[in-house]
Amino acid sequence: MRQGLAGRVRSLSALHSPRDAILFARVATFAATVPLLMRFPLPRLAALLTRPPRRPRAGALEVEVEVERLERLVALAPRVARPLVRTGCLTRGLTLYRFLRRAGLDVELRFGVDPRSVDAADGHCWLALGDEPFLEREDPRPRFVEVWRLPLAAP
């Protein structure tokens, strides 16, 4: 759904504090770079994006609140900053991967293809936590065969 400037400004009401606004600016800036990042060879992309997760400084409840906050801000970015921030699983997945790892979650980003696609490769990327899909409405594994993941497996 396209929205005009007034709708984009109204969407900013989802920012609840100056801290939210600063994090949103960081999230939207990173999300805007995803098309450029996807031009890198996959091992280089892995080296750029993957750092060990930070140790959580907070308890489980605070981490859960931070996950909800990041998910909300990542979803807000394309509504406010389109066309600079694209919609889709790559933008969502890479952005959440980077920021959730920095928040202390040991998430992985998995890439898969649908082997039943005939005309063109149909792919998807999703987050996993503890080997289970994370923040996905539907489990992508029955449809998509995993072909690559971040972080890369240790040699």
Spell out the domain ranges in the chain: 5-150
For residue 113, what are the β-bridge partners? 123, 145
pLDDT score of 135: 94
pLDDT score of 11: 64
The larger pLDDT score, comparing residue 36 to residue 63, is at: 36
Q: Which of 4-13, 21-30, 73-82, 88-97 has the lowest mean pLDDT?
A: 4-13
Contact 103, 89 (CB under 8 A): no
Looking up tokens 């293809």 gives 113
Q: How far apart are CA 9 and CA 26, in angstroms?
A: 18
First-to-final CA distance of the chain: 44
Q: How far apart are CA 11 and CA 4, in angstroms?
A: 11
Phi, psi of 42 (to 5 degrees): -55, -40
Phi, psi of 125 (to 5 degrees): -125, 150
In the chain, what percentage of residues exceed pLDDT 70?
82
107-155 pLDDT, tens digit per residue, is: 999 999 998 877 767 899 999 998 999 999 999 999 999 998 988 655 4
Six token digits for residue 121: 């490769």
When the pLDDT of each residue in the chain is averaged and rounded to a whole number, the result is 85
pLDDT score of 155: 40
- Find, among 146, 144, 75, 78, the residue nearest to 116 by Cα: 144
Looking up tokens 């898969």 gives 112
Looking up tokens 């005309």 gives 119
Looking up tokens 């990041």 gives 70
pLDDT score of 103: 86
Query: What is the average pLDDT across 13-25?
Result: 83
pLDDT score of 1: 47
> Residue 113 CA to chain centroid, in angstroms?
18
